[in-house]
Amino acid sequence: MSDDTGGQGDTAASNGSESANGRAPSGGSDHTDHMEPLGDMETAEAAEPAVAFGETRGGVPIGGWLLKADPGELGDLDEAGLVWAWPLNPTYRVELMEPGQPVFLWLNEVDGDRTPGLIGAGVVATWTAEDDLIALGADGLASDEAPQVACGLWVERLSVPIAAEYFAAEEALAGAEILASPQMGNPLVLTPDEVNAIWDRFDLATDAPTEQGVQAAELYINEQTQEILVAVLLPDRQLAMKYDQLDDLYYVISLGEGHEEVAGHGEFDDPIAAVAALVAECEPGAREAAVPERRPDLRLNIDDHEVVALFPWSEDGVRVIKVGDEAFEVGGEGWDDEAVTTFPTFGEAVLAFAEAAFVETDDDLEQE
């Protein structure tokens, strides 16, 4: 087999650094340091051995995932050196996928100079939203009409792919699901021992992704894992409190004209503390802002107001508006006068709703 087949082992064997069967020498791989997804997520090759984070319905421990790909599905990997999302049928396995778990990309068939085998390595980067998952049957399979869901990834292209024949030659990998049941749909599982064997026995060095690829991946992952919980519009600035699922932290930020993040004002592990910091930033501007002229539709059009706090996730579109020098109303869609509450300061109004909402949310989660 020549070097241009893409099989790991041929290139190394030619320079004498590997044995004739194409296996990487003992001692682990020469993994590059640029595979560092957002936050503190694990890289493709972890410092600690892989451990089981779940098991299949047949009782097989799961230590990582393997995604099969046809040549026509590798546009992002080829052009950007990076894959950041993958469509999957909603099965119980998809519900087990969580950020930081190892994941590998496997080429299904010959593609020009590339042969089947491992072509990418990385980690799961996002959860799949539960709302996108349909009810599953007893067999854990979705119907043919079921929509696919996207799982966020950070998978980089291997500098030297690992050909299937070298993968299969490893005793610890001979029983891998991709070899024993190649017809199985994505995602396939790798046991902890199989993940460790890949890390230990093969060179997992990856090509540096393009700058455009990294930007696209970060944008996608942020959109999937970050949520604006409170947004505040003032005469001369916009601020927000967001939650980041990956960090499990709340951030107070300033936004630019295009709603992009332009400055940070602290990180918090408690949502109420974050809201308190947000209103502290906003209170002076809210106090000095003008009171809009009263009109019948005043409460419906936020453009009529210099001070608005929005809660995008609330079912009733709850907002806080300034209606007097020392009067801030909290209400939602319809603005039933009986349901509107007035507070003397902007901070008290925002905190009153936030405290009730977050406590209710926490109670609901505990009951589930």
Q: Which of 157, 176, 209 is the last residue of a domain?
A: 209
Distance CA 2, CA 6 (A): 8
Residue 16 pLDDT > 70, yes or no? no
Contacts of 256 (CB under 8 A, 6+ apart): 238, 262
Is 294 in a helix, a strand, or coil?
coil
Q: Is residue 218 part of a domain?
A: no
The confidence score (pLDDT) of residue 79 equals 93
**Nearest alpha carbon to residue 286 among 240, 236, 252, 332:** 236
Contacts of 131 (CB under 8 A, 6+ apart): none
Residue 225 pLDDT > 90, yes or no? no
The confidence score (pLDDT) of residue 284 equals 93
Q: Is residue 340 part of a domain?
A: yes
Mean per-residue pLDDT for 285-313? 76
Query: Which secondary structure element, helix H or strand E, spans residue 251, and what is its range?
Result: strand 249-255
User: Is 202 in the same domain as 230?
Assistant: no
User: Is 167 in the same domain as 250?
Assistant: no
Residue 214 pLDDT > 80, yes or no? yes
Could you say which DSSP state residue 206 is in? B
298 C-beta neighbours (distance < 10 Å), count: 15
In single-letter form, the type of residue at position 75 comes to G
Mean per-residue pLDDT for 130-147? 45
User: Is 163 in the same domain as 70?
Assistant: yes
Distance CA 176, CA 116 (A): 15
Dihedral (CA of 19, 20, 24, 30) sign: positive
Contacts of 56 (CB under 8 A, 6+ apart): 62, 93, 189
The confidence score (pLDDT) of residue 295 equals 57
Distance CA 335, CA 28 (A): 64
The confidence score (pLDDT) of residue 245 equals 84
| DSSP-assigned states of every residue in 308-342 | EEE-TT-TT--EEEEEETTEEEEE-TT--GGG-EE
Contact 307, 233 (CB under 8 A): yes
Q: 187: cis peptide before it, omega within 30°? A: yes
Residue 347 pLDDT > 60, yes or no? yes
Mean per-residue pLDDT for 84-88? 90
Give the pairing type, strands 238-244 and 249-255: antiparallel
Residue 198 pLDDT > 90, yes or no? yes
Distance CA 187, CA 305 (A): 50
Distance CA 73, CA 69 (A): 6
Q: Which of 181, 209, 237 is the last residue of a domain?
A: 209
Q: Is residue 220 part of a domain?
A: no
The confidence score (pLDDT) of residue 136 equals 39
- Predicted confidence band at 122 (pLDDT cuts at 50, 70, 90)? very high
Dump pLDDT digits (tens) for 257-269: 887 889 999 999 9
The confidence score (pLDDT) of residue 299 equals 56
**Nearest alpha carbon to residue 116 among 198, 10, 8, 192:** 8
**Nearest alpha carbon to residue 272 among 362, 333, 341:** 362
Q: Which residues pair with 267 in a beta bridge?
A: 251
Residue 148 pLDDT > 50, yes or no? yes
Which pair of tokens denotes residue 264? 């940070």
Residue 40 pLDDT > 70, yes or no? no
Contact 234, 247 (CB under 8 A): no
The confidence score (pLDDT) of residue 32 equals 36
Q: What torsion do the CA atoms of 252, 255, 260, 265 make, to the nearest 10 degrees?
A: -30
User: Is 184 in the same domain as 253?
Assistant: no
Q: What angle do CA 218, 224, 226 make, to 5 degrees?
A: 85
- Predicted confidence band at 197 (pLDDT cuts at 50, 70, 90)? very high
* Domain count across the chain: 2
User: Is 201 in the same domain as 241?
Assistant: no
Instruction: Output the pTM of the full model.
Output: 0.64
The confidence score (pLDDT) of residue 27 equals 35
Is 81 in a helix, a strand, or coil?
coil
Dump pLDDT digits (tens) for 313-343: 777 778 888 888 898 988 776 555 566 788 9
User: Is 75 in the same domain as 42?
Assistant: yes
Mean per-residue pLDDT for 62-67? 98
In single-letter form, the type of residue at position 38 comes to L
Q: Is residue 215 part of a domain?
A: no
- Predicted confidence band at 23 (pLDDT cuts at 50, 70, 90)? very low
User: Is 107 in the same domain as 232?
Assistant: no
Which pair of tokens denotes residue 255? 């936004």
| 83-97, 176-190, 210-224, 289-303: the lowest-pLDDT one | 289-303
Contact 206, 158 (CB under 8 A): yes
Contact 115, 163 (CB under 8 A): yes
Q: Which of 169 and 15 is assigned the larger pLDDT?
A: 169
Mean residue pLDDT of the chain comes to: 79
Residue 35 pLDDT > 70, yes or no? no
Residue 303 CA to its chain's centroid (Å) = 33
Q: Is residue 57 part of a domain?
A: yes
- Predicted confidence band at 359 (pLDDT cuts at 50, 70, 90)? low
Percentage of residues of the chain with pLDDT beyond 90: 47
Could you say which DSSP state residue 114 is in? B
Residue 197 lies in domain? 3-209
| 93-107, 188-202, 244-258, 296-310: the lowest-pLDDT one | 296-310
Q: Is residue 217 part of a domain?
A: no
Q: Which of 161, 182, 209 is the last residue of a domain?
A: 209
The confidence score (pLDDT) of residue 360 equals 54
